[in-house]
Amino acid sequence: MKSMRDSVWPYGRLSFQFEFKPEDHDNGEKTFLGVTGNLNGDDIVDIICKQPAAANFLARHMYSFFVADEPPVPEWPYKPPRDPEAIAALSEVYFKTGYNIKEMLRFLLKSDFFKSKEARYKRVKSPAELMASVLRLTGEYDRPKVNFNATNLQTSYMGQWLLNPPSVEGWHWGTEWIDSGALVERVNFASERFGDLQSPGVNKIVDRILENGDGEVSAKQVVERALDELSISSLTPGTKSALDDFAEAQFASDADPSKDSQTPRERVVNILKIVGATPEFQRA
């Protein structure tokens, strides 16, 4: 049965929905996953839902999307989960609640493994996630605009052509998003957007970073506030040291007339650009 529901196309290609037609049903005995009887489509779905493999499959997908990257799906038969106890707990909720995905998600979001520090920055943002996180901060799109299409194309340069996965399996997630070409595109996109003082969101971020009722803001304060604005709660010591050194060099130009003069706002966006290029911003 054809249906317009869930279709991303305004016309032409439509999604298909299951419809049971008694007059067209084979009432003979059939066997599926060890169950024999006069099975119909709903019976098949019920049999699949009762399989431990179904619970494990859903649990591992949820863990990979919300907590930490798992290996690509084709590797699951050969590679154990990153956190087998978490997968087992999610699977248990699946069966106890009658296959209720909402309750699985509720359990996950309240779990210790979701909130633990060890889970931070264990997911590489997909190109779509990276782009959305940047554009929400820059605030440059409050309605559809002419250059929206060109911006959308940049996800394909990062390896994700939106609404056009390479196969029915979808994209391989995690570190497979990162290669030498894609990484350059990701870093350039974030740095370019955070360096644009014409963006209303960037201006608001800069305003908040430079706010200080007691005097000038120090270079280290700028770094800390920039990290907070971009929702980065921790950095590796090497990255933090490099950011502090870069910020000190930016603000040291005040004392050195030989250096090109920049406004404080320009110095802040230079720091924002570097923060957007950190490994931590590329992860979630």
> Do 81 and 189 fall into the same domain?
no
Q: Of the residues 103, 119, 135, which one is the last residue of a structural domain?
A: 119
Structural domain contains residue 130: yes
Q: What is the DSSP letter of 118?
A: G
> Do 276 and 167 fall into the same domain?
yes
Structural domain contains residue 184: yes
Closest CA to 249 of 267, 274, 272: 267
Structural domain contains residue 44: no
Tally of domains in the chain:
3
Judge residue 59's burial from the number of C-beta atoms within 10 Å of its C-beta, 0-12 exposed, 13-18 middle, 19 or more buried.
buried
Structural domain contains residue 99: yes
Residue 190, classed as helix, strand or coil, is helix
> Do 206 and 80 fall into the same domain?
no
Structural domain contains residue 276: yes
End-to-end CA distance of the chain: give it in Å, rounded: 40
**78: CB partners within 8 A, 6+ apart:** none
Distance CA 151, CA 38 (A): 52
> Do 5 and 97 fall into the same domain?
no
Please give the residue range of the domain that contains residue 5: 1-37
> Do 161 and 94 fall into the same domain?
no
Confidence of residue 111 (pLDDT cuts 50, 70, 90): very high
Q: Of the residues 119, 146, 174, which one is the last residue of a structural domain?
A: 119
> Do 191 and 232 fall into the same domain?
yes
Strands, E assignment, 12-52: 15-16, 30-32, 35-37
Q: What is the pLDDT of residue 195?
A: 93
> Do 240 and 278 fall into the same domain?
yes
Structural domain contains residue 165: yes
Q: What is the pLDDT of residue 18?
A: 72
Strand 2-3 to 15-16 pairing: antiparallel
> Do 68 and 31 fall into the same domain?
no
Residue 1 has pLDDT above 50, yes or no: no
CB 35 within 8 A of CB 42: no
> Do 167 and 86 fall into the same domain?
no
Q: Of the residues 119, 146, 178, which one is the last residue of a structural domain?
A: 119
Residue 4 has pLDDT above 90, yes or no: no
Judge residue 108's burial from the number of C-beta atoms within 10 Å of its C-beta, 0-12 exposed, 13-18 middle, 19 or more buried.
buried
Structural domain contains residue 86: yes
Tokens of 90: 């999610």
Residue 16 has pLDDT above 80, yes or no: no
> Do 233 and 259 fall into the same domain?
yes
> Do 139 and 194 fall into the same domain?
yes
> Do 112 and 141 fall into the same domain?
no
Q: What is the pLDDT of residue 232?
A: 92
Q: What is the pLDDT of residue 150?
A: 84
Structural domain contains residue 43: no
Q: What is the pLDDT of residue 42?
A: 87
| pLDDT tens digits along 19-77 | 778 888 888 888 999 989 988 888 899 999 999 999 999 999 999 999 999 988 888 99
| pLDDT tens digits along 176-225 | 898 888 999 999 999 999 999 999 999 999 999 998 755 578 888 999 99
Phi, psi of 140, rounded to the nearest 5 degrees? -80, -15
Q: What is the pLDDT of residue 3?
A: 42
